[in-house]
Amino acid sequence: MDQQALIQTLVIPAAQILAVVLVLPLLIAYLQLVERKVLGFMQVRLAPRRVGWHGLLQPIADAVKLLIKEDTVPEKSDRFLFTLAPVVTVIPALAALAVIPFAAEPFRVFGYEVNPFITDINVALLYVLAISSLGIYGVILGGWASNSKYSLLGALRSSAQMISYEVPLGFAIIGVMMLAGSASMVEIVNAQKAAGVWYVLPQILGFFCYFIAAVAETNRVPFDLPEAEAELVAGFHTEYSGMKFALFFLAEYTNMIVVSSIVTILFFGGWLRPFPNVAALAWLENGWLLFVPLVAGGFLGWLADQKLGGGLRLMFAGGIAGAALGVLIARSDVMGLAGLQVPAVSGVFWFSLKVSFFLFMYIWFRGTYPRYRYDQLMALGWKWLIPMSILNVVGTGLVILITG
């Protein structure tokens, strides 16, 4: 094997994996800050704002705290399993990211072709389903090894919940696979481009089932029974502290990002711009020049002081200022930026915008809904989601059969 091929097949994938694994914790740290901010604002109070400008350094402080905290292991616990559990939880969560395409078109670095995804396999969806259900082992092991009744109860609830919601999760995906005729993530998005419509329209029922089941799979509010803090202290990670707790935490948020990415890819056209086939909107392809300042400005404005009720106004002001900057760049071609029409960047921008929306949905749900009771959870899963997702599969099949 010559050097060229060696780099292409070994070094570049390693670099891609490293990039994802290194960027992810930072993203998650700030996702946590955004979660606390959004929850705070929804409850008409201030969120963290003591560390750094409006709390922007809070995630760093939290990470440092978790890293240097004492790592206690309960005396009566099973030491080996207790240490193994967080690792078993975090590895499948990270592994699921391997098949997520952030954009489609490869870009060139030092003459080598680099794809904006780690790998594209033709059974990506099945792989994600298989891998993400492995995460439950970590939860069960953690709950069992802690030798605490709260942990065990949390773990048992978690396993029952995962088994129930795995079914509608799988069925909801089938409709998309039937329409796209493939289980590869890249192929599914390309099929949406060819069809000229995001699959959320023909598959609205599927999207609905998938998103609810996915929220339940990630153990988030309103399905957070495994860690119901009002009943079970903290559920399966009651006994965990320091770095081991941080790993559970990392796994939970990674799963959220994975689920949001899959929703984006399956139902919202992945890296495609809105209305992918309308030529009049082709300028959206370069839209990141305009929208990145808008989103960043809007975010900073929203973060800034809400004392005078000016949060919304500041958000708009920041957004408009950012948009003006974007238009200026796009029009006057400052530093030749407008010529930078990199499809990968555009794809990553649209992709992350959609993913951020679904992450916001997660937090929004957490700020709004009370927790389900155990029997309600089971009733929703078995009596509503499973029949609905099967109905969706049958309906999609009929439509495909009739229209040929």
Partner 1 sequence: MAVRPASGFRDLLKMLLLLELWVGLWVTLKNQFRPHITVEYPRERVELSPRFRGVPRLRFHPENGEELCIACHLCETVCPDNCIHIVSEKKPDGKGKRLVSFEINYERCCFCGLCVDPCPTKPLTAIYMSHDYEMADFKREGFVAPLKVLLNGVDPKDYKE
* Residue 376, both tokens: 């309600």
In this complex, which beta carbon is closest to partner 1, that of residue 20 or of residue 388?
Answer: 388
What is the C-alpha separation between 29 and 380, in angstroms, rounded?
32
What minimum distance in Å lies between the beta carbon of 376 and partner 1?
14
Q: How far is the CB of 308 from partner 1 (least distance, A)?
A: 6
Token duo for residue 306: 């809400």
The CB-of-310 to partner 1 minimum distance in angstroms stands at 8
Q: Which is it for strands 112-114 and 107-109: parallel, antiparallel or unpaired?
A: antiparallel
Nearest alpha-carbon partner for 100 in 16, 220, 26 = 16
> To which H or E segment does residue 12 belong?
helix 12-42
What is the smallest separation between the CB atom of 378 and partner 1, expressed in angstroms? 18
CB of 218 to partner 1, least distance (A): 19
Closest to partner 1 by CB, 367 or 395: 367
Of the two residues 150 and 223, which places its CB atom closer to partner 1 in the complex? 223
- What is the rounded CA–CA span in Å between residue 161 and residue 373? 12
Smallest CA-to-CA distance from 27 within 75, 59, 73 is with 59
Rounded to the nearest whole angstrom, what is the least distance from the CB of residue 314 to partner 1 in the complex? Answer: 10
- Minimum distance, C-beta of residue 312 to partner 1, in the bound complex (Å): 4
Closest CA to 240 of 110, 10, 46, 77: 77
Which DSSP helix (H) or strand (E) runs through 113? strand 112-114
Give the residue with the Cβ less far from partner 1, 130 or 312.
Answer: 312
Distance between CA 324 and CA 44 in Å, rounded? 31
Q: Which residue has the tokens 């990039």?
A: 19
DSSP3 helix / strand / coil % (the chain, rounded to 5) = 70, 0, 25
Closer CB to partner 1, 137 or 364, in the complex: 364
The CA distance from 138 to 140, in Å, is 6
Nearer to partner 1, 274 or 311 (CB): 311
Q: How far is the CB of 305 from partner 1 (least distance, A)?
A: 9
Instruction: Burial-class residue 395 by CB neighbours within 10 Å (0-12, 13-18, 19+).
Output: middle
Q: For residues 283 and 369, which CB has a smaller minimum distance to partner 1 in the complex?
A: 369
Interface residue list for partner 1 (CB under 8 A): 38, 40-46, 306-312, 364, 367-369
Q: For residue 194, what are the contacts with CB-CB under 8 A and spacing of at least 6?
A: none
**Contacts of residue 379, Cβ cutoff 8 Å, sequence gap at least 6:** none
Cβ-based nearer residue to partner 1, 51 or 348: 51
